[in-house]
Amino acid sequence: MQLELKHIKGGQLEQDYTCAVGDFPELQELADTGDSAYRGPIRLHLSFAQSGRMIDVAGHIRALLDLTCGSCLGTFEYELAEDFTLTFVPEGEPADLALEQELESDELGKVPYRDDRLELLVPVQEQLLLAVPMHPLCSPDCQGLCPVCGGDLNTTRCRCEQKVFNSKFGVLAQLKGKAD
């Protein structure tokens, strides 16, 4: 997925892309391991704005996924809809050959490009990975699994005896209650 700068006429360009999971190697790897499954295409809307040699990209991602709930381990459908921005800057000549360099705050979040061509695959793939929740929940009130028998508390009520956790910090909660 590339874009040549000559296509940004008048400093503005809007494009829609429809991609498959297989177009993004890291997403395909996650799908192969079963961590997430994309249902259908990944839709991208990208708006490019050129100012001199700097290109700002405002993007919107839409996709439908099957995720595993982090609490009850059930599979659920998740609609991904996420906005993001990227800034592409010309790749400069390296000042030295050091493997590690400290980045200045204004350099963070900028994507280098060369030969008047924007390589979109890796930055868009990163945005897709960041948009998926780290601890997905099938619903905000998911009860999770019983710690004793492992039953799904969303669908069944087990009769397991719940042991009270003895927290040494519980006394602090009592003190806070007295202060209120």
Using CA atoms, how far apart are residues 64 and 81, in angstroms rounded to an integer? 9
Using CA atoms, how far apart are residues 81 and 77, in angstroms rounded to an integer? 13
Using CA atoms, how far apart are residues 79 and 38, in angstroms rounded to an integer? 10
Confidence of residue 25 (pLDDT cuts 50, 70, 90): confident
Contact at 8 Å (CB) between 67 and 80? no
How far does CA 104 lie from the centroid of its chain? 24
Q: Mark whether 118 and 30 lie in a shared domain.
A: yes
pLDDT computed for residue 139 by the predictor: 94
Q: Percentage of the chain with pLDDT > 90?
A: 44
For the chain, what is the domain count? 2
Q: Mark whether 6 and 83 lie in a shared domain.
A: yes
Q: Percentage of the chain with pLDDT > 70?
A: 84
Q: Mark whether 93 and 121 lie in a shared domain.
A: yes
Q: Mark whether 87 and 165 lie in a shared domain.
A: no
pTM: 0.72
Q: Domain range holding 177?
A: 143-180
Using CA atoms, how far apart are residues 53 and 30, in angstroms rounded to an integer? 35
Q: Mark whether 114 and 164 lie in a shared domain.
A: no
Q: Mark whether 132 and 148 lie in a shared domain.
A: no
Q: Mark whether 179 and 127 lie in a shared domain.
A: no
Higher per-residue confidence, 106 vs 63: 63
